Each structure stands twice: as structure tokens, then as C-alpha cells.
Amino acid sequence: MPRRAERPAPTAAELATRQRDISVAEFFLENRHLLGFDSPQKALLTAVKEAVDNALDACEEAQILPEVRVEVRPVDDGVLRVAIEDNGPGIVEAQIGKIFGKLLYGSRFHKLSQSRGQQGLGISAAGMYAQLTTGKPLSIRTRVVGEPAHELSVGIDTSRNRPDIHDKRQVDWSVAHGTRVEIELEARERAGAHSVERYLRLTSIANPHVTLHLVDAAGNATTFVRTTNELPPQPDEIKPHPDGLELGRLVALLKSTDERHLGAFLQNELSRVGSKTAQRIIARADHGLTARSYPRRVARRQASALYRALHATKVSAPVASCVVPIGEARLLASLERESHADFCVVVCRPPAVYRGNPFVVEVGLAYGGSTDADGLTSSASEPVTLLRFANRVPLLFQQSACAMTRAVIDTGWRSYGLTHPKGALPLGPMLILLHVASVWVPFTSESKEAVASYPEIARELALALRACGRKLRAHLARSERLSRAEDRRERIRRYVPHVVTALTELLALDALYAERLTTELSEALELPREGESR
């Protein structure tokens, strides 16, 4: 084998010259799979999802009933142009560039409040993928109420993570307020479980107050009309809850607070800490800390003691108003409408906390009934269908990596009457809907496709699933009883004509009497037996 030419090893000084800053945009350009843009099929859905999520967040924040239009238009082989238009509050001119042309820029990252957006990455990532694959910037049209509408093109200067704005102009637009985003990208339309249509359908299940219009690439129009005119309550913004709060986070809060006294810091920078609880925590922490200690001067050692004391002190559960579930009645109505099942049940758990972040879990289950044409419910021999949602957003990818799937697999479905292969989903004509709503959903990656398995979240999911399972078992037992009783009746029913004939002959009954006897015997058979409700 020829020997490789010997190269002198680089010195530390030479190695040092290779070190460079990496812009966040350059990083995500190389790692676009982390943002959900790993194939043209996935790219379409991810781009639509980011824009629809933003539209719904903006409308709800401005207390507007959302009406969102999605239009997909073929441009070239493998290239689609997607427009997403909302009736939200619009975007003020000065913000447009950064929102659409700068990664990690947004209004939601720094506040603990339930919303679909969290990271400040979504829509600019879609713009970056579009620019990479077609060279076209995003086209934005937006109008704030009482102001003229603006239209402009926004690209991204990836080496500096800065917006590149072109062709800014005022335009006539018949709408009073709203935003329209147009994205031209390398993408393919998919049918079935990963289609835009399915995504919008699932969005409407979890958001019954939303109307969604779709025109697909073939020109087919579909509308999902809202079933309620009531907006969900606005989730309250909160401070971190002491349960599960990490030491590093506590230290960061101590360093950045404007509070001048530790007592006030604990009460105002954390959730559910009143003055008595604050006093108790400080006394327990000891290490020279008092209610009047200056938070920014708390030493590492004292912060550790404070951290231990925080966790050893009982603090009330988070206020329920910071997380907004879809709600039992709304979820049940959506499930019944969409699944055509024989039996539906929904369980909503009270708020719990992981890593200092309140969250709430809801689980719905639909069993049996007519197999639905759109394939939401599975057949008897197939694994059950899972519909996963996080902050009302359907999750369509990474099912096996998700805490919600894990929780379904780990539930003992055999004791609830289903076939359940080990380590897999149970089998049966069933649909399970799972929703995790939180002030901060712990996604497994930036593409927000699966929820991480924090023990507290897994526990809440398990409790909700078991409660649904128990109700399913009762339903299946009732169905079984009814079907056995029906079987018995059917067998007796076959003898009624023979009994009537025999009696007619034996007692020499006339035809009218024989007919009455047949009716009475048949009616008696239909009466429910004691303890049998039908």
C-alpha cells in the first residue's frame, strides 16, 4: 500500500487561527433537519405549520377569532408557493424584518406563558429554507388596524443572521388587519397522515374556535369551520414555580432581579411563594441569609442552601390559570364528531409541574363505531391511532420518540380489555388523543415534533390514560353483557312461532288470539332484564 505523505502536525497557534464565530443562521442552515426541513415532503408541512401556529398565536393574543387561509400553488417541478393569510393584529413595520429574517428573534421565548411559539425560530427558519432551495425571499404583506398595508420581501444574510429587506412599499389591501406570508420553496405535497389537509383537520379538532381554509396544489378547496365563537381564556403569564426549579436557573434569577431584598425576590420572582413561605425558606436555608439579604450578592454556597430549602418547603400548586386545556366538553365534542365512535371519554388532569414549569395533561379515547373514511380510527387488528398535541398544535412526526407514545405503550391495556403486544402500542379499533399544555413544552428538538419524557409528565399521562382505560373496561364489559343477552334473546325468538302454533292447537285458539300471543311474547323478550340497561 502506498504510504501517505507525512504532514507536519499543526501547532496550537496554527489551530488557534482556525477558530471562528458561527452565526446561528449558519448553524441551522447546516442542521436544517433540526428545524424539520430534512426533505421536500416534510418541508411543506413544516413551513405551513410554523406560519399557521404564528397566525393562531397572534389572533388569540389580540383576542380575535382566528380565520386562516392556506393556499398551495405549484410553480415548477418540485417547487411550490405557499401563502398563509391571517386576520390577526398585523405586524408593525419596524418588526417585520427581524421577525422574518433573523433566527432566534420573537416575543415568546422570555416569558412563561402558554403559546404555540416558544423559540423565535419558526418562521425565519422557513424563510431560510426557502431562500436556500429556490433563492426566493419571503414575501410579506401586513396591515395594522388604522394604518396602510405594507408589502416587502425579506431574505436572511446567514453569515450575520440579519434580515435582507427589499421592495418595501405601501399597497391597497381590502382587509382591515392581518398578515399574509408567501413562501416559495422546494417541496412536495403529500397525501394521508402527513398532508397539510390532515394537519389542518387536527388543528381544528384541538382548536374548535378556529376557521381554516385550504386550497391545495390541485385547486381543491376545503374549509374547517369553527364550532364555537368563544375564544379560549387567555393564559396568565407566570413566574417559575419552585417545584423542580434548577440551581442554575435560581442563580440566574438572583443575578438578574431588580428586587433589593431576598424576601421580596422569593415572593415576586417565583410563583406561589407568599411572605410566610418566603420566611420559612430563608430560615431553613440559614447560611447567613435573611429576608433583607441583597439577592445579587448571594454567594454560590448560599444559593445552594437556598435551593435546598426551596425544595424542602411545601409550596402550593401553580395557579390553574397559567395553563389552558382544551377542556373536557370541547374535546369530547370534537372526538365524537371526528371519530364516529361508539364510546368516547376524556380525562383532564389538574395542573402539575416539571422543572418549575406548570403543565396540564388531557387524554381522550374513542373506541369502536364505523371505520372512518379518512383513516383517523384504526381497525380491530391494527395498533391504535395516536393523535398527539402540544399547546393545541398537532405533532405529526417523531411519534416513537415522544413521551406521549411511551406513556401509551407503558399502560397495561390488557387489564382494560385490549390486545397489547409487549413494548408496542395496543391493538384495536381505537383512537387516543393526548394533549400536553404548558408554559414551556419540553420538545426533544427545535422542530418541536415530540415531547421529552420528564418523569412528572410521564406520570400525569399515565394517570390520565389509566382513568380512560378504566372507563373503557366498564364500556367493554357492558357491551359484552348486552351482546350475551341479545344472543340469548335471539335463540328464544326462534322458538316463538313454534310455541304459538303448539298453544293454538292445544287450546284451540282463534287466529286473532294467536296473533296477539305472538306480539306479547315478542314484546316480553325485548324488555330489559333486571340490571340490564340498554
| Contact positions vs ligand ATP (CB under 6 A) | 50, 53-55, 58, 86, 88, 91, 99, 106-108, 117-124, 179
Other beta carbons within 10 Å of 76: 10
Q: Is 439 helix (H, G, I), strand (E, B) or coil?
A: coil
Other beta carbons within 10 Å of 42: 20
Residue 118 touches which of ligand ATP, Mg ion, none (Cβ within 5-8 Å per kind): ligand ATP
Residue 428 touches which of ligand ATP, Mg ion, none (Cβ within 5-8 Å per kind): none
Closer of 106 and 325 to ligand ATP (Cβ): 106
Least distance CB 390 / Mg ion (angstroms): 13
Contact 341, 367 (CB under 8 A): yes
Residue 243 touches which of Mg ion, ligand ATP, none (Cβ within 5-8 Å per kind): none
CA distances from 533 to 482, 487, 527 (A): 8, 16, 10
Least distance CB 151 / ligand ATP (angstroms): 14
Closer of 405 and 447 to Mg ion (Cβ): 447
Closer of 122 and 356 to ligand ATP (Cβ): 122
CA angle in degrees (0–180, nearest 5) for 447-448-449: 95
Q: Does the protein bind Mg ion through residue 115 (CB under 5 A)?
A: no
Residue of 139, 214, 209, 145 whose CA lies nearest to 177: 145
Closer of 179 and 302 to ligand ATP (Cβ): 179
CA–CA dist 92, 114 (Å, integer): 23
CA distances from 139 to 27, 100, 104, 179 (A): 24, 10, 20, 11
Least distance CB 477 / ligand ATP (angstroms): 44
Other beta carbons within 10 Å of 96: 23
**Contact with Mg ion (CB under 5 A) among 36, 117, 127, 208:** 117
CA distances from 109 to 105, 211, 255, 439 (A): 8, 27, 19, 10
Residue 432 touches which of Mg ion, ligand ATP, none (Cβ within 5-8 Å per kind): none
By the 10 Å C-beta count (0-12 exposed, 13-18 middle, 19+ buried), 495 is classed as: exposed
Q: Does the protein bind Mg ion through residue 122 (CB under 5 A)?
A: yes
Report 163-182 residues binding Mg ion (CB under 5 A): none
Q: Which stretch binds Mg ion (CB under 5 A): 37-45, 118-126, 146-154, 482-490?
A: 118-126
- Longest alpha-carbon distance in the chain: 120
CA distances from 522 to 261, 503, 509, 519 (A): 83, 15, 18, 5
* Cα 322 to the center of its chain, rounded Å: 16
By the 10 Å C-beta count (0-12 exposed, 13-18 middle, 19+ buried), 35 is classed as: buried
Contact 59, 66 (CB under 8 A): yes
Q: Please tell me the count of residues contacting Mg ion according to CB under 5 A.
A: 3
Closer of 122 and 240 to Mg ion (Cβ): 122
Binding mask 74-113 for Mg ion (x = CB under 5 A): ----------------------------------------
Residue 107 touches which of ligand ATP, Mg ion, none (Cβ within 5-8 Å per kind): ligand ATP
Residue 83 touches which of Mg ion, ligand ATP, none (Cβ within 5-8 Å per kind): none
Least distance CB 323 / ligand ATP (angstroms): 17
Residue 55 touches which of Mg ion, ligand ATP, none (Cβ within 5-8 Å per kind): ligand ATP
Least distance CB 251 / ligand ATP (angstroms): 26
Q: Does the protein bind Mg ion through residue 295 (CB under 5 A)?
A: no
Least distance CB 53 / Mg ion (angstroms): 5
Least distance CB 124 / ligand ATP (angstroms): 5
- Which residue is closest to ligand ATP by CB? 117
Closer of 163 and 351 to Mg ion (Cβ): 163
CA–CA dist 179, 99 (Å, integer): 12
Least distance CB 336 / ligand ATP (angstroms): 31
Q: Which residues contact 143 (CB under 8 A, 6 or more apart)?
A: 90, 149, 150, 173, 175, 176, 177, 178, 179
Residue 179 touches which of ligand ATP, Mg ion, none (Cβ within 5-8 Å per kind): ligand ATP
Least distance CB 318 / ligand ATP (angstroms): 22
Least distance CB 141 / ligand ATP (angstroms): 11
CA–CA dist 19, 21 (Å, integer): 7
Report 33-62 residues binding Mg ion (CB under 5 A): 54
Binding site residues, Mg ion, CB under 5 A: 54, 117, 122
